[in-house]
Amino acid sequence: MATSRRTTKKGAADTANHAVFAGSMPVTSELTPFQILAPDGTPVREDLIPDLDLVEEMYRQMARLRHLDDKFMTLYKSQKLGNYAQFGGQEASQIGSAMALDQNLDFLCPMYRNTAAMITHGWSLKNAIMYWRGHPEGWRIPDDLNILPVIISIPGQIVHAAGVAMGLQMKKTGGVAMTYIGEGGTSQGDFHIGVNFASARNAPAVFIIENNGWAISVPRKVQSGVDYLMRRSEGYGIPGYLVDGNDILAVHTVAKKAVQDARDGKGPSLIEQMTYRIRPHTTGDDPKAYRDENGDPKFWAENRDPIQRVKRFLTTEKRWNDDREVAMMAEIETEFQAALEAADNFAAPDPKALLEYVFVNPPVQILEQQAILAERIKEVNA
Ligand SMILES: Cc1ncc(C[n+]2csc(CCOP(=O)(O)OP(=O)(O)O)c2C)c(N)n1
Ligand SMILES: [Mg+2]
């Protein structure tokens, strides 16, 4: 990690993220999430600022994927995308951590919220569009990517990551498995099973809790009686970290350490990244039914935006200006339009695909359903 060459004044440690979350927790806590940049972009830890080329790369990737998230909402409204789980507001949390992985060695075991992490680990924009359209070409992860299929059934991805990590350990590839889970998913039994298993086998896994305050309509407060969920790491005998999930530098620093430790044979880690779901659960959700959109969501969108934080920092460093912003946004839009065109031009799937790709040897029930479907297709086309 490069030592900072900058002269900006040291920022005051930000306790506001903590305060916002404290209100949603059942008990108070003396812990404060680790931070490198304060929300206004001022360094809190000058000594931990990485090379500015890397910071700029992070900024560009966050801007690129925020644009994607915005576009996906528009596509959904014009019926050109299916129900989609937005990540907008959680870019730092996903991109900062996925950037700690080696695309050739390490595996990502994603859930539905992780489109940003997947793209950061090599998934194409075109395939992301096709996935959220329900096209088989989108579900199929290309062979050259170390990414597992997207998990909807929470928290299967935790158990998968434990298994993948164990496989990598047995094969001695030096690879690591990283996975994500929402704070709500940590209340499920398989969370314990997966993390406990990885710990017992010293498997090279990194478990990331993206605590965005909500599990659809269920607030964090009623998920668990503990203050921070990373405390569970102690019960598993593994390191636990509490991080400001909207500070990409902090997220990246901690994820890099956890990945390196796993690679070095030191076993798994559990990281809790404090963020906030400023957008609906999915495009099909109406959060007004269960929360005040002018309360925490507005506060986080206006005062805790992970992209603005880095932009302010880079601007102060004279690494960013309006001209560069305009040029970048034009490039991002061109790239998105090309991906959309490629997805639009892709042949529509064969309806039979509805019942394929699950079993190598389909059981009798699936064979029966395939026969019924084939009949219906014949009728419709007659
Ligand atoms: C096994 C299982 N039960 C229920 C659901 C329905 N479900 C989808 S998302 C969700 C809430 C998840 O919240 P959280 O884990 O906090 O993740 P977030 O969506 O906030 O990223 C639930 C209950 C599911 N997908 N899988
Ligand atoms: Mg959540």
Q: Is the domain of 372 the same as that of 228? A: no
**For ligand 1, is residue 214 a contact (CB within 6 Å)?**
yes
Is 303 found in the same domain as 268? yes
Q: Find where tokens 């164990």 sit.
A: 166
Residue 204 Cα distances to 147, 168, 197, angstroms:
16, 8, 11
7 assigned to some structural domain: no
Say whether both 40 and 136 belong to one domain: yes
What pLDDT, on a 0 to 100 scale, did the predictor assign at position 20? 64
135-158 confidence digits (pLDDT tens): 989 998 999 999 999 999 999 999
pTM, entire model: 0.93
For the CA of 87, the nearest ligand? 1
In this structure, the answer to whether residues 316 and 364 fall within a common structural domain is no
| Pocket-testing residue among 216, 274, 285, ligand 1, by greatest number of atoms within 8 A of Cβ | 216
Domain that holds residue 37: 16-349
Residue 348 alpha carbon to ligand 2 centre in Å: 34
Rg (CA), the chain: 21
Residue 191, domain member (yes or no): yes
* 127 inside domain: yes
> Is residue 55 located within the same domain as residue 130?
yes
* DSSP E strand boundaries for the chain: 107-109, 177-182, 205-211, 214-215, 218-219, 240-244, 269-274
Both 267 and 378 in one domain: the answer is no
Confidence of residue 18 (pLDDT cuts 50, 70, 90): low
How far is 161 from 147, CA to CA, in rounded Å? 11
If asked whether residues 147 and 276 sit together in one domain, one would say yes
Q: Is 92 within a domain?
A: yes
Mean of pLDDT values over 231-236: 97
DSSP letter assigned to residue 186: G
**What is the mean pLDDT of the segment spanning 65-88?**
97
How far is it between the farthest Cα atoms of the chain?
74
Q: For residues 141 and 150, give the distance between their C-alpha atoms in angstroms, rounded to a whole number.
A: 9
Q: What rounded mean pLDDT belongs to the chain?
A: 93
Q: What is the mean pLDDT of residues 323-329?
A: 98
Q: What is the number of domains present in the chain? A: 2
Q: Is position 2 within any domain?
A: no
Domain shared by 79 and 152, yes or no = yes
Atom of ligand 1 nearest to the CA of 188: 1
User: Both 247 and 103 in a single domain?
Assistant: yes
pLDDT higher than 70, residue 176: yes
Residue pLDDT, tens place only, 343-358: 999 999 888 888 887 7
Query: Does 212 sit in the ligand 1 pocket, CB within 6 Å?
Result: yes
Residue 4, in any domain of the structure: no
* Distance in angstroms (rounded) separating the CA atoms of residues 127 and 160: 22
Q: How far apart are CA 179 and CA 314, in angstroms?
A: 29
Residues facing residue 43 across a β-bridge:
37
345 and 359 share a domain?
Answer: no
What are the residue numbers of the active site?
277, 281, 290
- Are residues 361 and 282 both part of a single domain? no
In a domain, 205, yes or no: yes
Q: Ligand 2 mean position to 218 CA, how many Å? A: 8
CATH number at residue 304: 3.40.50.970
d(CA 69, CA 116): 9
Strand ranges of the sheet holding 269-274, from the earlier edge strand across to the other edge: 107-109, 177-182, 205-211, 269-274, 240-244
Establish if 1 belongs to a structural domain.
Answer: no
